[in-house]
Every structure is written in C-alpha cells, then in structure tokens.
Homo-oligomer: A and B are copies of this chain.
C-alpha cells in the first residue's frame, strides 16, 4: 500500500530473478562479519534477512561506513542485486542465492550494545519482559504477534460472514457481587462510587439479545483481580458470542467452524468437524476431568464388578457407603522413580486423596507387586488383571471412595503420568471435543447451599425441569457446553433462561432473595420482562487458543506486553506510584503502610 522512499523491497523478497536490479533496503543489522577486510551484513526487517556486502571498488564511502556498523544499527542501503559466489549460497535463507553490493549506505540510527543477544534463548523471563521491545525483535516473537493478528482477523471474518455484529461494551462498568474479585476504578464525578472493569461482558451481551441484535460478538478485554497463578493474566481477551433464536446445535456448528478457521489461520491445518461430543458424566467417568485430554489412553476403569464380593475391608466399606473402586493402568510406567511416585502421591493428595499414598499394583518380571495383592482372592486377582489388561511393565493405581472425587484424583494422576512420559508435549495432535450436559447446580458444603455451576441464567435441559421442580437438584443437567482441546478448555457457554417464571424458580433454588435479585440483577430481570428472546452463547479464551495454535506453552509468548505473576508489566514498571493529589481528586486514599518504611516516609508508594 505504502510506496516508500526507505525501501524498494522487503528483506525476504529478492531472488535470482532480481539480479542486476538496483534496490533499496532498510532494516536492522542482524549480524556483521569482517571477511578479510570486506564487511558482510545480514540486514533484517520484519519480513526476513538479506545479505549486503560492502566492496570498496563499488563504493569507497559505503565501504568506509561499513567498518563502523554494529549489531542492531538501523541501516538504509541501496545497491545492486548480484548472485552470490559459487558455494556461498545459503539455502536456509529465502534470499540466500543473492546478495546486495552496497552503493549508498546510511545509518538511520545507531544502537547501543544490547542487554542481551537476540539470537539466544533467555531463561530469565523478567529480563525479557523488561526489554520487551528487544525481545519482540526475535523472529519467533514477531511471528507470534503476526499469528495472533491472523487468527483474530480470521475470527472476525468468520463471525461477520455468519451475520454476527461486533459491539463494543463498556470497560468502565459495574461491580457484580459474584464471580472473581473485580478491579475497581474510583469515579471522580460520582464521589464515593466506583466503576469495575468487566470480568466478562455477560450481562451486556444478554441485554443486546433483549435489544434484538440477534447475533453479537466481541473480541473483548476482560479483567480478574485474582492471585496470579502460572499462565494467568489479570487482563485477558475473549471471543464473546451470543445469539438469539438458536439451539445448542447451532452453537456447536458455529463454534466448530470458527475454531477450525482460527487454526487454519494460525497453523495452516484443516481441523475435521464436527467435534466429538462427550457428556460431563462420561468425561468424568473415563477421564476424571471435565476437560479430558484424549490424546492418550490410560482411561479410568471401574472395578465394581471385579470386587463385588470382596472381603477386603477398605473396598467393602467403600461399596457399603455407595462408593466406587476405580483404577487406571499406566501402561509401561512400572519403572517410575521414587521421586515420580512421591510426586504422584502429592498430586493425588492435592486432588483430595484422603490417605497418604496411592494404592498400586505393578507387574515387573512377571510378578505382581502391591501392598494390596495379599488381600485379594485369586478370582479378584484374575478379574483385575483381565479388566485392567495388565501386562509386563504396567502399573495400576487404585482409588476407592465417592465417584466424583475418586474420578478426579485418578484423572489428575493420569495427566501427571502423561506429563512425566512427555505425551502432553505433542502439539501436533489436535483432539477437539465438546463436553456437554454439565450439572446445573453444585452443592457447596462451605455455603451450605446449592450454587449455579455456570451462572444463574444458565438454562436447565428441558427434560430435567421436572427434576428441578422435584428438588432433585444434583440430577439436573444444564444446556451448557465447553469446547476442549488436548485437555485445555478453550471456552464454554450455555443457553440462557429467558422466561421469568423459570428464572424465579432458579433464584429460589439458589436461595437468592427478592431483594438480592433486585440488587444484583435488577436491570437484567427488568429487561427480561419486555420480550427477551430465547438466546445463548459462549466465550472462547483467545490468548490460550493462540498459544495452542502457535505451539507455544505460555500465553505470555502470544501477548505483546504481558504482566508477570506479580501483576507487573516490567517494561513500563506498571503499576506505579501516583501523586497524593491524584488520589485526593478521586476521593480515595491509600491505606497501605509498609512495616519497615512507615516511620521514615509515611505511606509508601504515594509520593
């Protein structure tokens, strides 16, 4: 588009066809080499690299300048395209057959010595983030930013084509009393009041359905003020979608096409659709997870029939309490180290194992080794070996207890073993699936009441509404769905309740009083009285999808200026201190008093 005095070509463009042409290139000096007094420069721009040679017989001025060139100087050079000497072509480089003989060269800006080399991987992520503007010069990071752009473009093109309208909803919005912790913004013009940054545009998108937009989407920035765990960001981006007059089948088809177009744009692969579907029940039963990784087996097996008549006290007691005995066979993993065994026990305990070690049976040198083996009858042993298909070198882990927690523990152990075996590193295999029919409600022992698993507007399945009315809350399934790739949740959503009587019933079950309803959801409940259409939607975690499409293992690699796990952006050193006067104007003051410094300087961080 832009005709340019700085260049006739980009640094990836020149080929033997161009030999004899005079061209101008501009970019950064990637490397500079002195070969017997002749300077060779690899000039880099965002598209690629071209070799430039400075010969004094061609231009004494350019040759003189070339001796002063340093890495990362910004250089404009004009010269003739020539074939490289026999045997010096670089086949790894798109432009490797040619080089430029400099006629006119100009340093547009000098570069100081960099704090790190761009061609080596840095393990110090803080240093990378502090000098992010240099880190992003690496071809891999440049590629990631551009992959992100292409995926986002493909997302918008696809949704536009499907009739969806992008609407920007407010960032300065209202604090909602549920969900994660909000970031707050003092509202100077409304003293004592606060805006909140949105955790998601959930209410706005539903209100846009009431407004008759029918098909909405937004690539939306969202915010959660949570303690940051690995690979969480306080601000993140989601592809937010809502549609009226649709069934869940419409959503599945739409999202499958969308995700396929994102991976096509990001990675050039064709994703087969439709995706596999699995009920939440089956996912938990077979994989002990609501986001099963189906790239590998080692599925959970129920041993109820094998041990139906067992005398072994622990199993017997479990069965008598309505529990289950379940196991996974970690094929070929009997050779695990003590360290790995300890790690698996740790994982299992974190996941809820009520004892200190995982029960196991391993088969080594034709022998079955297990602390439990002696408690089983011959019939049970034979049944177990057959059911679990135990072979030489296998190790089977057992858990006994309540179905969901037993499945969850085994699911975590299964995943950890796959990590240990390096199976989860395979980013070529792309196992997409839908997990559907999530439970609508979950009982919280802590709160002593039933809570919405998704949110209070999630729709129960039509055939389960009688169960809701009969008070069989645990059995009620929602029209809620997650899309999962290789054990990672890419996103999820639901159809919503649009009828006020059903919504009232839902609030009754959740124990939300009329006053609380008004306080928390007043405007949306009022809106729903004026002809709310049947509607539903979904949100996809964009950063994570880009990460997976780019084959990266951290979302920070696909975000231009991410924050570290202390919530800091190290390049600009944000967050920062602010002036006392700024806070006074906002009718707030800091209450933070650092223990050590308070005596000296008063309130730290407020100057």
CA A170 to CA B145, docked complex, whole Å? 14
Query: Which of A91-99, A104-112, A291-299 binds B?
Result: A104-112
Q: Within 8 Å CB of A111, what residues of B?
A: 529-531
Binds B, one of A202-210, A351-359, A453-461: A202-210
As a 0/1 sequence over residues 592 to 604 of chain A, the CB contacts with chain B under 8 angstroms (1 = contact) are 1010000000011
With A172-B234, A569-B170 in contact, do A74 and B161 touch (Cβ < 8 Å)?
Answer: no
Across the interface, A2 reaches (CB within 8 A) one of B165, B253, B575, namely: B253
* A188 interfacial by beta-carbon distance below 8 Å: yes
Interface residues of A in 525-577 (CB under 8 A from B): 527, 529-534, 559-561, 563, 566-569, 571-577
Q: Distance (Å) between the CB of A511 and the closest chain B CB?
A: 19
A520 to chain B, nearest CB (A): 11
Q: Which residues of B contact A394 (CB under 8 A)?
A: none
User: Is A513 in the interface zone, CB < 8 Å from B?
Assistant: no
Q: Return chain B residues, CB-CB under 8 Å to A489.
A: none
Name A567's contact: one of B7, B184, B187, B589 (CB within 8 Å).
B187
- Given known A112-B530, A212-B137, contact A575–B193 (CB-CB < 8 A): yes
Q: Which residues of B contact A184 (CB under 8 A)?
A: 185-186, 578, 582-583, 586
Of the candidates B1, B110, B197, which one forms a contact with A185 in the assembled complex, judged by CB atoms under 8 Å apart?
B197
B133 touches A561 (CB 8 A): no
Instruction: Say yes or no: is A387 at the interface (Cβ < 8 Å to chain B).
Output: no
A50 to B214, CA, bound (A): 17
Q: Interface size for chain A: under 10, 10 to 19, 20 to 34, or 35 or more residues?
A: 35 or more
A72 interface residue per 8 A CB criterion: yes
User: Which one of B5, B163, B171, B192 contacts A221 once the chains associate, using CB atoms below 8 Å?
Assistant: B171
Q: Report the bound CA distance from A247 to B2 in whole Å.
A: 10
Known contacts A6-B245, A185-B197, A45 near B560 by CB under 8 Å: no
Chain B nearest CB: distance from A90 CB in Å?
21
| B28, B182, B215, B533: the one within 8 Å of A109 (CB) | B533
CA distance A591 to B149 in the complex (A): 44
CB <8 Å contact, B149 and A166: yes
Taking A190-B567, A571-B207, A574-B172 as contacts, is the C-beta distance between A533 and B74 under 8 angstroms? yes
**Residue ID in chain B nearest A110 by CB atoms:** B531
Contact A246 B168 (CB under 8 A): no
- B207 near A132 with CB under 8 A, answer yes
Task: For residue A267, give the distance in angstroms from its CB to the closest CB of chain B.
Answer: 18
User: Smallest CB–CB gap between A562 and chain B, Å?
Assistant: 9
Identify which of B133, B197, B204, B576 contacts A171 (C-beta below 8 A): B197
Does A133 lie within 8 Å of B194, measured CB to CB?
Answer: no
Please state if A146 and B163 are interface contacts (CB–CB under 8 Å).
no
User: Which residues of chain B have C-beta atoms less than 8 A from A464's C-beta?
Assistant: none
Contact bitstring A130-172, B, C-beta under 8 A = 1, else 0: 0011111100001001101100110010001111011111111
A531 near B28 (CB under 8 angstroms)?
yes
- Nearest residue (CB) in B for A571 is B523
Of B72, B142, B257, the residue contacting A531 (CB under 8 A) is: B72
The CA-CA distance from A592 to B585 in the complex, in Å, is 10
A191 at the interface (CB under 8 A from B): yes
Chain A 233-252, CB within 8 Å of chain B: the 1/0 string?
01101000001011100100
Q: How many angstroms from the CA of A55 to the CA of B449 in the assembled complex?
A: 51
Q: Is A369 an interface residue (CB 8 A)?
A: no
A4 within 8 A of B: yes
- Is A462 close to B, CB under 8 A? no
Q: Does A498 sit at the interface, judged by CB under 8 A?
A: yes
Task: Please name all residues of chain B whose beta carbon is closer than 8 Å to the beta carbon of A585 when the two chains form the complex.
Answer: 181
Complex Cα–Cα for A190 and B3 (A): 47
* Known contacts A246-B2, A583-B184, A588-B589: A145-B167 contact under CB 8 Å: yes
Given known A2-B246, A109-B532, A146-B165, contact A228–B175 (CB-CB < 8 A): no
- Decide: A560 and B168 in contact? CB cutoff 8 A: yes
- Chain B residues with CB under 8 A of A285: none
Asked if residues A235 and B170 are in contact (CB atoms below 8 Å), the reply is: yes
- Using CB atoms, name the residue of chain B closest to A247: B5
- Is B575 a contact partner of A194 (Cβ separation < 8 A)? yes
A227 interfacial by beta-carbon distance below 8 Å: yes
A429 at the interface (CB under 8 A from B): no
Asked, given contacts A145-B167, A246-B2, whether A575 binds B195 with beta carbons under 8 Å apart, the answer is yes
The answer to whether A192 touches B109 (Cβ under 8 A) is no
CB of A213 closer than 8 Å to a CB of B: yes
A470 within 8 A of B: no
- Cβ contact within 8 Å between B588 and A4: no
Rounded to whole Å, the gap between the CB of A7 and the closest CB of chain B is: 6
CA distance in complex: A548, B1 (Å): 26
Asked if B28 and A605 sit within 8 Å, CB to CB, the answer is no
B185 touches A183 (CB 8 A): yes
**Cβ B591 vs Cβ A589 within 8 A:** yes
Nearest B-chain residue to A606, judged by Cβ: B192
**Residues in B neighbouring A3, C-beta threshold 8 A:** 250, 253
Can you name 7 extra interface pairs (CB under 8 A) apart from A137-B211, A194-B576? Answer: A153-B160, A168-B221, A172-B235, A192-B592, A583-B588, A588-B590, A589-B589
The 7 A-B residue pairs with the shortest CB-CB distance in the complex, in nearest-first order: A192-B605, A1-B162, A111-B531, A174-B574, A136-B211, A6-B245, A192-B592
Provide 5 A-B residue pairs closer than 8 Å at the C-beta atoms, listed in order of the A residue. A3-B253, A6-B245, A46-B214, A134-B530, A148-B167
